[in-house]
Amino acid sequence: MSAVVNLSNISKTFDSGTQAITSLDLDVRDGEFLSLVGPSGCGKSTALRIVAGLIAPTTGSVTWPGGKPEIGFVFQEPTLMPWRTALDNARLPLELKGVPRADAEARSKQALARVGLGEFGQAYPRELSGGMKMRVSIARAIAAEPKLLLMDEPFAALDELTRQALNDDLLKLAREDGITVIFVTHSVYESAYLSDRVVVMTPRPGRIAADIAIAQPSGRTAAYRLTPQFSEAAGKISSALGHAMAV
């Protein structure tokens, strides 16, 4: 399977002297759902920002075999502009790219509809619940039709039910559009449910401790959470994580 991005020997030391990542090698394959799991402060977010090009690595290189694709980014907070309606928030990437307004509006409307907020285009963020705000954030990320979606603990602040609903919707969207996803989380169960592959990282400075492939049942649904395969995957990730923490 071809790689979307290769990270080779990446390390990052911040100006403060904190070493966030050390010698990280990672190939992200086209179309896969990859989770980065690790304890807080293990450099997962830093790795994501390096992939996005928002910060430069201290050493190592990020290469794009097929050229740098359109990238979407979803943060832990919904990170919406409170003075803009849901629709105008979702429209931002297209607007910044200079897409004509009518076209941008139609596409962001469609993105909102796909996350189940078709009726809420004119609502301001403060009128929406936490889960709905996160949906707007996802709509914004997919409005520009990215090939690679980077997500930094996007559902960590949500309640369990909302989180599971969003997990299912995210899987569906990623599959429909053939989007490659790099998903940062510290939830073992979330990564076991969502991922084709889980990369476990050590505490700071972050390195890869384990690379676990998860068998893909077709049409993953809520019922999957009750299967032995799910328990087994979660168990593997959990023990790899425990191992990584102990080193």
Binding site residues, another protein, CB under 8 A = 49, 52-54, 71, 73, 75, 77, 79, 81-84, 92-93, 95-97, 124-126, 144
Q: Among residues 53 and 235, whose Cβ is nearest to another protein?
A: 53
**Smallest distance from another protein to CB 81, Å:** 7
Q: At what angle do helices 101-114 and 130-143 cross, to 10 degrees?
A: 130
Determine the residue type at 95: E
Q: Among residues 27 and 95, whose Cβ is nearest to another protein?
A: 95
Collapsing DSSP states into helix, strand and coil, what is residue 28?
A: strand
**Smallest distance from another protein to CB 144, Å:** 7
d(CA 21, CA 14): 10
d(CA 8, CA 181): 19
Q: At a CB cut-off of 8 Å and minimum separation 6, what does 65 contact? A: 2, 3, 4, 5, 6
**Smallest distance from another protein to CB 125, Å:** 7
**Smallest distance from another protein to CB 109, Å:** 19
d(CA 19, CA 78): 28
Q: Among residues 93 and 121, whose Cβ is nearest to another protein?
A: 93
Q: Among residues 83 and 102, whose Cβ is nearest to another protein?
A: 83
Q: Among residues 98 and 228, whose Cβ is nearest to another protein?
A: 98
Sign, CA torsion 34/37/40/42: negative
**Smallest distance from another protein to CB 113, Å:** 22
Q: Among residues 38 and 72, whose Cβ is nearest to another protein?
A: 72
Q: At a CB cut-off of 8 Å and minimum separation 6, what does 68 contact? A: 53
Over its C-alpha atoms, the chain yields an Rg (Å, rounded) of 18
**Smallest distance from another protein to CB 79, Å:** 5
d(CA 112, CA 130): 15
